[in-house]
Amino acid sequence: MKRKEFIKRSALLYTVLQLPLRSESKPEDEKVSSENSKESPWLEAEDLSDFRTLLVSLQSYPKGIQLAGNWSPGKVFTHCAQSIEYSLKGYPEMKSALFRGSVGKIAFSVFAFKNKMNHGLEEPIPGAEDISNDTELKAGIKRLIQAIDDFSKAKESSLRPHFAYGELTKEEYEVAHSLHIKNHMERVLL
């Protein structure tokens, strides 16, 4: 085995072995009390349809949500919308094919198996347009509802590869988007 290939494989193996450990732990600022997770309907949502229902009801009472952290709720909802939109039109920056075919696939599999995603909750999508923290909540909700509607109408053949997970079926994308939103909603303050 060549040295360069050995180093790549060793790095990949190390990353894979660390993945479950990292997905279990969160930085202090991302921890949410177990009381919040038991009471929040956002964490009980199963799919994009459930999230859409919650978003529509939130439109009637937009001051009814607060999130811990530095991102405003409007920015969070817009960020979640961006991810869905990019699955339809293509992500601006992609991880390498090697990453998407190995580490990315494994990460998605672990998240799907656990039915829980852990990611940097204040990290933008690589290459995405910047979202102002002053984004109004109603605008973020409206954009996310529209993105969910567009996704639900889309044919599987029109979906673009995920920047980290690679090629996903529509069902897999539904899981990825739902877990992504749910992960952000772990910061809901009740």
pLDDT tens, N- to C-terminus, the chain (190 residues): 554 454 444 444 444 444 443 434 444 444 444 444 346 889 999 999 999 999 999 988 767 788 899 999 999 999 999 999 999 999 999 999 999 999 999 999 999 999 999 999 999 999 999 999 999 999 999 999 999 999 999 999 999 999 999 999 999 999 999 999 999 999 988 5
Tokens read off for 17: 């072995």
Residues facing 162 on adjacent strands: 166
Tokens of 115: 């039915």
pLDDT attached to residue 62: 66
Spatial contact of 123 and 93, defined as CB atoms under 8 Å apart: no
Compute the distance between CA of residue 74 and CA of residue 63 in angstroms, rounded to an integer. 11
Per the CB < 8 A criterion, the answer to whether 54 and 137 are in contact is: no
Helix (H, G, I), strand (E, B) or coil at 91: coil
Cα–Cα distance, 6 to 15 (Å, whole number): 14
Write down the pLDDT at residue 65. 85
Query: Alpha-carbon distance 13 to 8, whole Å?
Result: 9
> Kindly report the CA angle at 75 between 56 and 128, in degrees rounded to 5?
115
